[in-house]
Amino acid sequence: MSQQFCTFKLDGHLFGVEVLHVQEVIRFQEMTRVPLAPGAVNGLINLRGQIVTAIDLRARFGMASRRPNQLPMNVIIRTDDGAVSFLVDEIGDVFDVGDDALESPPQTIDGEARELIRGVYKLNDGLLLALDTERACDTGRLVGAAVED
Amino acid sequence: MSDLSDVVSEFLIESYENLDQLDRDLVALERDPSEKETLASIFRTIHTIKGTSGFLAFSKLESVTHVGENLLSRLRDGLLVLTPDRTSALLTMVDAVRGILANIEESGQEGDGVYDDLIKSLTALTEDGSSAPAAAPPAAMVVDDHESDDHEESEDLALASATSMAKPSATDLGESGPATDSATHRGSVSDSNIRVDVGLLDRLMNLVGELVLARNQILQWSSGTEDTGFLATTQRLNLITTELQEGVMKTRMQPIGNVWAKFPRVVRDLASTCEKKVRIEMEGKDTELDKTIIESIKDPLTHIVRNAVDHGIESPHQRLLSGKEEEGLLLLRAYHEGGQVNIEIVDDGKGLDAAKIKEKAISRGLLTAEQAGRMSDRELVNLIFLPGFSTAAKVTNVSGRGVGMDVVKTNIEKIGGTVDLQSRPGEGTTLKIKIPLTLAIIPALIVTTGGDRFAIPQVSLLELVRLEGAQARKGIEWIHGAPVYRLRGNLLPLVFLNEQLQLGGPGSSVASLLDFEAARAELRGWLARAREAIKGHGANAPADLPPPAETTLGRWLSSCNDDLNALPTVELLRSACDAFFEGVSKITQAGGKVESHSLVEIESLAEVAAEQIGALQSYLETASSLNIVVLSADDRHFGLVVDEINDTEEIVVKPLSKQLKGLSVFAGATIMGDGRVALILDILGMAQRSGVVSQVRDRTLVDSKPQVHGEEVDKQTLLLVGVGEHGRMAIPLSAVARLEEFSGSTIERTGRDEVVQYRGNILPLLRLSSVLPESGSSHEADPMPVVVYSEDDRSVGLVVDRIIDIVEESVVLQRRSGRSGVLGSAIIQGRVTDVLDVRGLICKADPSFFEAVAA
């Protein structure tokens, strides 16, 4: 079994999303910020009349924010709840990777980031981190969960 | 035509459609008499027409279709075989029916056609099991008495093409004048009506929504051009789009009578079950509402009607005793008002008993006696919307299970409506529902705050108030830190949108509201102090001056946001103030022993500062104005202060994605004329967030749901309490058993512990301010609010200083805490709030508490 991944870069790391989940990739769009929204929600964009929530993956992974002049790209993902846009640094190629190259994320990756990665594909010239799109969309870590801890 | 009632015209439309089908079916059936299903369908059609005509008192129609039905039923049961004679007779009957229908459509009457012969022949054909061929001619002859030749010729033709027969037979049968040309008129009802798939209408509505957006964009763009041709075209596009939108909207409109139609029956059945006499009256049946709204009010209305009959209206005996008619009246009334539909359900029953409701609420543990004592009758009456509330003494199979009214309220509010209940004991109850006409495209006011645009649904909008210059400052008064504005003599609480949404922005923020007189007075005071110090009369100096940082000016300067700080006048004022206060402190520190020119120096510094205050004042007074959007939420009025009021626009409401669903202050988003997205404010959510509307009905502890496990929890209900002067803490509501208030005098002591007697038990009290000393010193409130925590049968009372609110928010713990008893901090209602770990807290104070439970 091999899968096709649409790849993108985030703070130097190569990430991938299954091609089938990707609706399209578009350049930076003007956004309307949403006050009081979870930190990773960067704003709302108008995608041909459809309103799409943009989630900054850098914020999601707890990475430093982009330089002000570095405009993110939008990777539009299809989800059950409609389209969602992931803001990424730059877009890479589409890779064909085999399941034999897959390993689960090492335990040493810090907590939250590990939850967002489904697995690591070992490529010839580096690692491809497979993004768990569903978890990445889930922007609110809630008190409810913390109380249960 | 026009005076036909709705029922009759619907009957006509339906019957015409069915008759056309019938013609085809009968012909098809004759070719293949074994088609049982076709036969059954024909039978059903005729049966329906017969039934409805009987109901509408069209006796001729009924008798004709009755014999036809008899024949058909025997055919269907296989007792008779379909012969050409029978087919013709049936077709003749269809034509007769059509003729009568045409007459009804024309004049509302069945006409004076005589159908005895047709009936006879049909009866003969039904009874004559052998189907004697002799029976056939009468069938034809009866119909075509005068033109039998003509008919015989055309019979085959008629069989082949049923419609061709319609004209001659209608002419023959109708006989009366109007019926003669009825064939040309026929169908003016049916032709002008078609049945359309609702899904198609929904798609149309969506497309119109998109068109409205595109139109808005073009309008915005065209305002920048001078091309008259283009402008004229834009205007036309604008008009056409508006008309199209209205038109498509109308296609989805249905009269509310459609929902009401079933109520007479509901009321009759219910009344007889309850042994009551109830008459139902309806006003404004034709009031139209969007189909989706009609559907969502169906159940709430039924609930209300049932409740009114079951609880509201008294038994005939009681009614007579209280001097009323034996028969109770239930009045349903609907009417349009200001872009909304009002629906009233009025009964003349016994009304709601506020005292009984109070008693019930207390006994059910929904309220404490003290809380209830503070409520007005109107508030008490509205308690019936609480979940788990029912005043019926006994639970009947009709109502009284305590579900219903809360569902009613929730459902109505879900579609943006409001419910209000008014009751006069002994005279009756009026329940008033206000709902919007449609949900998809709404008129909205566009405002700007902090550089962002927001849409405010116009249904909540009452008026706009603009305060210019000095008015903006003087118009605002303060009650305990809460700004209010006197609107025609009534106090209007003000809510600053930029504060609620945590946006920056000059002009409208509280920070820009500086009390200039107080600032000047303090400045003078400080100058006086410096003077006295220099003169060596330090004791004469005004004593009660606040320290520089605590003066009106100092506080204002430190609360300035970035935008204000960027203003040159603010910068100048700040440096002037700093220089002045520095000078004063030098003088006072030196005990006045300074050189004489210092006095001149400090006076000139004071002058510069005063000048800058003046400059700032004149700047703010010319530059600043206050835009107040007066809104109504849950019948409370409040003023939303925004930076700018832009325009009204028709907007298309789009829902927010799940990441943002938890934000109760937004109702959705829309796309503006320039293609950018703007958020739509949820006025009720905004009012609740800012505390304008209390959440009394959510403050029921019975409702506290067990905590949902796992990450799918997207909302937490938290009790906000105040500790110390400014401290705010949140307690998960699941950890709260009850809220109580104890008077200081009821506190007793066992050893070091404070306890109170509570429901026959001893309740140990734990003062939050002493368990968490860092939260600030406590001030003694009397009565003391106490949060009761229970585990198994043991309870602890947490003494807090204030109960602030109950919020339902998705709370993100932003900073974990190392302190025991505190889970961490989160932003709740725009303020940093510590979230308490009640178990940890109790453990900290009394480690044996949980051991005792375990033991």
The pLDDT tens digits of the residues spanning B92-133 come to 888 888 888 888 888 877 777 778 888 888 888 777 654 444
pLDDT of residue B183: 43
| The pLDDT of residue B651 is above 80 | yes
Contacts of A148 in chain B (CB under 8 A): 707, 709-710
pLDDT of residue B678: 92
One DSSP character per residue, B560-602 reads: --HHHHTSHHHHHHHHHHHHHHHHHHHHHHTTT---THHHHHH
Q: B631 versus B521: which is more confidently predicted?
A: B631
Arithmetic mean of pLDDT, B449-471 = 84
Decide: A75 and A19 in contact? Cβ < 8 Å.
no
| The pLDDT of residue B163 is above 70 | no
Q: B478 versus B53: which is more confidently predicted?
A: B53
Give the strand pairing for B831-836 and B727-732. Answer: parallel
A37 touches chain B (CB under 8 A): yes
Is residue B317 classed as helix, strand or coil in its secondary structure?
helix
CA angle, B647 then B650 then B655, to 5°: 115
Q: Which of the listed CATH numbers 3.40.50.620, 3.40.50.1820, 1.20.1050.10, 2.40.50.180 matches domain B442-508+625-687? A: 2.40.50.180
Assigned architecture for domain B712-854: Beta Barrel (2.40)
B381/B783 Cα distance (integer angstroms): 26
| The pLDDT of residue B251 is above 90 | no
| The pLDDT of residue A141 is above 60 | no
- Which of A31, A51, A60, A84 should one mutate to test binding to chain B, selecting the residue with the greatest count of B CBs within 10 A? A51
Count H helices and E strands in chain A, helices first.
4, 11
The topology under which CATH files domain B255-436 is Heat Shock Protein 90 (3.30.565)
- 3-class secondary structure for B631-664? EEECCEEEEEEECEEEEEEEEECECCCHHHCCCC
Q: How close B364 comes to chain A (CA, Å)?
A: 28
pLDDT of residue B541: 58
Query: Could you state, in order of their start, the residue ranges of all structural domains in chain B?
Result: 6-185, 198-252, 255-436, 442-508+625-687, 516-623, 712-854
What is the chain A residue with the closest CA to B214? A49
Contacts of B834 in chain A (CB under 8 A): none
What is the chain B residue with the closest CA to A48? B675
Count of all residues that appear for chain A in the document: 149
pLDDT of residue B145: 39
pLDDT of residue A74: 92
Query: B671: which strand partners?
Result: B677
Q: Which of the listed CATH numbers 3.20.20.80, 2.40.50.100, 2.60.40.3470, 2.40.50.180 matches domain A2-141? A: 2.40.50.180
| The pLDDT of residue B204 is above 90 | no
The pLDDT tens digits of the residues spanning B398-409 come to 444 344 677 788
Burial class from Cβ neighbours inside 10 Å (0-12, 13-18, 19+) for residue B266 reads middle
Chain-wide mean pLDDT for chain B?
A: 75
The topology under which CATH files domain B6-185 is Four Helix Bundle (Hemerythrin (Met), subunit A) (1.20.120)
Q: How close B412 comes to chain A (CA, Å)?
A: 25
Please tell me the least confidently modeled range out of B21-30, B135-144, B207-216, B436-445: B135-144
Contacts of A140 in chain B (CB under 8 A): 659, 662, 714, 810, 812
Q: How confident is the model at residue B1 (pLDDT cuts 50, 70, 90)?
A: very low
Say how many CA atoms lie within 13 Å of B390 toward its Cβ. Answer: 20
C-alpha closest to that of A34 among A57, A51, A11, A22: A51
A147/B717 Cα distance (integer angstroms): 13
Q: How confident is the model at residue A95 (pLDDT cuts 50, 70, 90)?
A: confident
> What ipTM score was computed for the predicted complex, to two decimals?
0.87
pLDDT of residue B271: 84
- In degrees rounded to 5, what are phi and psi of residue B748? -120, 175
Nearest CB partner across the interface for A148, out of B213, B502, B709: B709
Q: How confident is the model at residue B144 (pLDDT cuts 50, 70, 90)?
A: very low
The pLDDT tens digits of the residues spanning B293-342 come to 888 888 888 888 888 888 888 888 888 888 888 888 899 999 887 667 88
- Which of B208, B453, B658 should one mutate to test binding to chain A, selecting the residue with the greatest count of A CBs within 10 A? B658
The pLDDT tens digits of the residues spanning A6-53 come to 999 988 889 999 998 899 999 988 889 898 888 888 899 988 778 899
* A34 with B654: Cβ contact below 8 A: no
CA B230 to chain centre: 41
pLDDT of residue B779: 61
- Which of A46, A80, A116 should one mutate to test binding to chain B, selecting the residue with the greatest count of B CBs within 10 A? A46
pLDDT of residue B446: 93
The pLDDT tens digits of the residues spanning B420-442 come to 888 888 888 888 888 877 666 78
The CATH number given to B198-252 is 1.10.287.560
User: Amino acid identity of A138?
Assistant: D
C-alpha closest to that of B492 among B682, B626, B640, B375: B640
CA B576 to chain centre: 53
Q: How confident is the model at residue A145 (pLDDT cuts 50, 70, 90)?
A: very low
pLDDT of residue B177: 40
Decide: B449 and B441 in contact? Cβ < 8 Å.
no
Please tell me the least confidently modeled range out of A76-90, B293-307, B492-506: B492-506
Do the domains spanning B6-185 and B442-508+625-687 agree at the CATH topology level?
no
Sheet holding B476-479, edge to edge: B461-468, B625-633, B636-642, B490-496, B482-487, B476-479
Q: Could you identify the residue written with the tokens 């979870």? A: A38
A68 touches chain B (CB under 8 A): no
Arithmetic mean of pLDDT, B582-602 = 74
Nearest CB partner across the interface for A142, out of B657, B670, B713: B713
| The pLDDT of residue B23 is above 60 | yes
